[in-house]
Amino acid sequence: MSNQFHPGDIVSWNTSQGRTTGRVIKQLTQECHIEGHKVAASKDEPQYLVETCESEKRAAHKPDALTMEASKASS
């Protein structure tokens, strides 16, 4: 995995409304559903549960879709 994120890290990602910023809640390593959407995460291909800063909505994203803005470890 090229990108590893940790709970509390601030990340950004692209949406249809533009760039959005939020925080990592946790790493997902098994299939689950978030807000009615199936997340096909696995140990080999994990995804990250993130929460937007503005609306506090949650979504899952693949690591390559996320950009680190601030690491919890550096604060």
Measured from the Cβ of residue 28, the count of other Cβ atoms closer than 10 Å reads: 19
Q: In the prediction, which pLDDT does 3 show?
A: 74
Q: In the prediction, which pLDDT does 35 show?
A: 87
- Structural domain contains residue 2: no
Q: In this structure, what token pair is assigned to residue 12?
A: 């950004």
Reduced to 3 states (helix: H, G, I; strand: E, B; else coil), residue 64 is helix
Question: Is-above-0.85 flag for pTM?
Answer: yes
Q: In this structure, what token pair is assigned to residue 57?
A: 């909505």
Number of domains the chain contains: 1
- Structural domain contains residue 24: yes
- Structural domain contains residue 4: no
Q: What is the dihedral of CA 4, 7, 13, 17, to 10 degrees?
A: 170
Measured from the Cβ of residue 45, the count of other Cβ atoms closer than 10 Å reads: 12
Q: In this structure, what token pair is assigned to residue 16?
A: 């249809």
Local mean pLDDT, 10-residue blocks, the chain (75 residues):
83 93 97 93 96 92 95 68
- Structural domain contains residue 5: no
Range of the domain at 17: 10-70
- Structural domain contains residue 23: yes
